[in-house]
Structure formats: C-alpha cells, structure tokens
C-alpha cells in the first residue's frame, strides 16, 4: 500500500488558489462523511482528485487516493462508485513521475495498488500494463524495480481484454504508435497504426497533435533534423489552433520550440514567451524541468548564432537575472539562468532514487545544425 500522507504537507509548486480550492473540498468531504451522506462523500472525493489532477499539481490527489480507496472498501454496497475510484487512479498514474519527492519505491507501490484494485474490483489489467510500459520506457533505470520488461508489459497490455477502464481506440492506437517508434524502432508499423487518426475528416481529441509531436521527437533522436522540424511545425500549428492555452501542453510545446529553434529562432522565441506566460499555472515538476531545459537549449542556440540580447517581460514571480527596466537581457545570462533552474530540479529528481537520467539529459550538448 502507498504510505498514507496528509494534505497539509508542503509541496513546492502548490499555489494558494489551489490550496484554497482543495481545502474547501477537503472540508466538504469530512462534513459529508460525518453526516453520513455517503454518495456526496464519493462525489467530492472524485471531484477532489479530478480538480487537482487536471487543474493543479496532482500531488494532493495522489496523497488522498489511499483514503478514497479505503472509504470505498468500507462501502461496497455503492458498487456504482468503483468505476470512479478507478478512473481517479488512472488520472494519477501517468503523472506520478512528475513529483520529485516520490521515490521509485513509492511509484511502484502506487502501480501495485492500482493492479490489486483492478483484480479486487473485477477489472481487466489492460490499462495497468499500458500505463506501466510507457513509464518503464521513460525511466529505463527503474525497470529492475518492477520485475517486468517494457516489451513484456506492452504485450500483456495488448493481450488483456478491453473493458470500461480501457482507453478509446484512438488513444490506444496512439499508445501502440509510440511503442513501435520508441521500443521496436519500426517506423512503418507505427505509421500504419496511427494514419487513420491523422486524417482531417476525423477528430480524435489531441491524438493527432501529439502524434505529430511524437514524430518530430522520433526523427530528432534519429538525427533527421530537417524532418523533425517539419513535424514540429505541424504540431505547433495544430496546437495553436485547437488549444491556444498552452498550459496543458507544457512539456510537448517546450520540446517543440526546442526543435524548431534550430532553424526558426523567431518562431521558437514567440512560443517560448507564450509558454512563459503559462508557466505559473504548471505545477508538475517534470514539465517545469522540461521547459527550463528546453529554454536553456534555445538560448544556447541564440547565443551561438550571435544574438547578444533579447527583450522579455518576465513574470514578477520568476526572478531572472539582473533586473532591467527596459526588459532587455543578456542572452548568455538568460541561458545560464535557465540551466541553473533546470539543474535544481534535475538534482531533486535524481537524488531521491540515486539516478542521473535528468542530469544526463540536461548535460547533452544542444544540436546547432540540421
């Protein structure tokens, strides 16, 4: 079981608006339970997890999950509530690696609790393995803690039956698409799987946007920079059109402006400034790290290309460099500032598990030419 934690715990990126909202929900949960209003308590638990996972950091939702599950286990007669308990869990599992205060052991325990709940409540393990394989791929140093390989987890996820916890076909296709690119390095099969969901006449939420982003990342890692930039531009145009508030695409858009800054520095700089305006709302530390890291890379390229200074209006809460009333700052100084911010988070993530994956990523020399 996950270790029980209290909501009063401090969390690095939790702002007062978030805490006020969550404290109010916490108070309502306690009142509903005290009053014996079980249905209302269930409704509020789910709202708490959903609001925190989608609007704030998600960390407090992670903390309250054991309590939420314990409450359901004490009220099995409300069987219709179990799907909401499991959907709440599904919101948290993909983002638990975004909290630098959680060890791999705690994350493993979270996955194990979800697996046990699936079995106990009569659900397929399809969603469990599908979420797990991507976590294992994203954190290669953690696979020994789970006693299953990336390929084994993906295979089990495909074999298990679909049920009400399974994602829709477009999301599962995207999941398989990323697997065949990243793990199997089978570009043809990946494209075959995702192609039906990229057509303009079809609408599958953010699946097309994320697919073009993923292709951009894949070709970048392959050293096919020109091709990568092409897909990165396509992804950014789609996101700008359909999701003008970049905050829900913080990680993706950060990597996209990192890629296009190799060729289109002005466009990359504009996207960086849009994300900078959204940064305060982003409370997932892994996403914040990615923004800082990609910002460092972009300013590294600007400096190398001969741009000595830039004009930026920094948010008041983000203390950057020496204050300048004209909002003109040294490119070198900003580059070093973002490297130091990324370094702080990299050290936090790597130190808790004695890994070095965040620092390894940050210390890679940025690509300068196509």
Render pLDDT for 174-232 as a digit per residue (tens, 0 to 9): 999 999 999 999 999 999 999 999 876 567 889 999 999 999 999 999 999 999 999 99
pLDDT of residue 242: 87
97 and 195 in one domain?
A: no
pLDDT of 104 strictly over 60: yes
Helix or strand holding residue 310 (H, E)? strand 309-311
Please check whether residue 144 lies inside any domain of the structure: no
Residue 25 belongs to some domain of the structure:
yes
Q: Considering only CA atoms, which of 334, 275, 324, 331 is closest in space to residue 308?
A: 331
Mean pLDDT of 263-272: 95
Taking residue 185's Cβ as centre, other Cβ atoms within 10 Å add up to 11
Q: Per residue in 168-181, pLDDT tens?
A: 999 999 999 999 99
Q: Name the β-bridge partners of 309.
A: 330
Burial 277-316, CB ≥16 within 10 A → b, else e: ebbebbbbbbbbbbbbbbbbbbbbbbbeeeeeebebebee
Residue 268 lies in a domain: yes
Instruction: Examine residue 161 and state whether it is found in any structural domain, yes or no.
Output: no
pLDDT attached to residue 202: 63
Establish if 107 belongs to a structural domain: yes
pLDDT at 9: 31
Phi then psi dihedrals of residue 27, to 5 deg: -65, -40
Q: Are both 2 and 117 inside the same structural domain? A: yes
Residues 152-157 have a mean pLDDT of 96
Write the pLDDT tens digit of every residue in 106-146.
999 999 999 999 999 999 999 999 999 999 999 887 777 89
Mean pLDDT over the full length of the chain: 89
Residues 310 and 364 in one domain: yes
Strands 328-330 and 309-311: antiparallel
Q: Is residue 129 part of a domain?
A: no
Cα separation values, 111 from 20, 33, 161, 178, Å: 29, 27, 19, 21
- Asked if 281 and 235 sit in the same domain, the reply is no
Assess whether 20 and 96 both reside in one domain: yes
Task: Tell me how far apart the alpha carbons of residues 299 and 313 are, in angstroms, rounded to a whole number.
Answer: 16
Range of the domain at 289: 248-370
For residue 5, the model assigns a pLDDT of 33
Q: Cα 58 vs. chain centroid, distance in angstroms? A: 11
Euclidean distance between CA atoms 207 and 29, whole angstroms: 35
């Amino acid at each position: 079981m996950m270790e029980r934690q209290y909501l009063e715990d401090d969390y690095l990126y939790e702002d007062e608006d978030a805490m006020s909202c969550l404290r109010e929900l916490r108070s309502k949960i306690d009142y509903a339970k005290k009053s014996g209003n079980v249905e209302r308590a269930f409704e509020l638990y789910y709202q708490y997890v959903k609001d925190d996972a989608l609007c704030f950091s998600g960390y407090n939702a992670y903390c309250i999950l054991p309590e939420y599950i314990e409450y359901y286990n004490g009220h099995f007669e409300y069987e219709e509530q179990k799907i909401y308990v499991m959907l709440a869990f599904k919101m948290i599992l993909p983002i638990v690696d975004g909290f630098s205060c959680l060890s791999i052991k705690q994350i493993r325990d979270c996955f194990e609790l979800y697996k046990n709940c699936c079995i106990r409540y009569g659900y397929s393990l399809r969603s469990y393995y599908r979420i797990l394989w991507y976590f294992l791929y994203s954190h290669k140093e953690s696979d020994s803690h789970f006693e299953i390989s990336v390929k084994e987890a993906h295979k089990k996820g495909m074999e298990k039956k679909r049920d009400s916890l399974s994602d829709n076909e477009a999301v599962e296709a995207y999941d398989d698409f990323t697997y065949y690119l990243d793990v199997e390095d089978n570009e043809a099969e990946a494209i075959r799987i995702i192609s039906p969901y990229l057509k303009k006449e079809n609408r599958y939420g953010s699946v097309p946007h994320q697919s073009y982003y993923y292709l951009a990342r894949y070709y970048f890692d392959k050293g096919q920079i020109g091709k990568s930039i092409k897909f990165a531009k396509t992804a950014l145009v789609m996101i700008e059109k359909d999701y003008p508030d970049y905050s829900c695409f913080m990680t993706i858009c950060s990597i996209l402006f990192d890629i296009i800054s190799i060729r289109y520095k002005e466009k990359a700089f504009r996207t960086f400034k849009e994300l900078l305006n959204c940064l305060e709302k982003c409370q997932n530390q892994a996403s914040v790290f990615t923004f800082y890291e990609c910002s460092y890379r972009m300013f590294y390229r600007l400096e190398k290309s001969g741009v000595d200074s830039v004009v930026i209006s920094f948010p008041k809460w983000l203390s950057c460099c020496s204050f300048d009333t004209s909002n003109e700052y040294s490119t070198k100084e900003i580059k070093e500032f973002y490297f130091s911010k990324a370094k702080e988070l990299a050290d936090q993530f790597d130190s808790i598990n004695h890994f070095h994956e965040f620092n390894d990523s940050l210390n890679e020399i940025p690509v300068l030419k196509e």
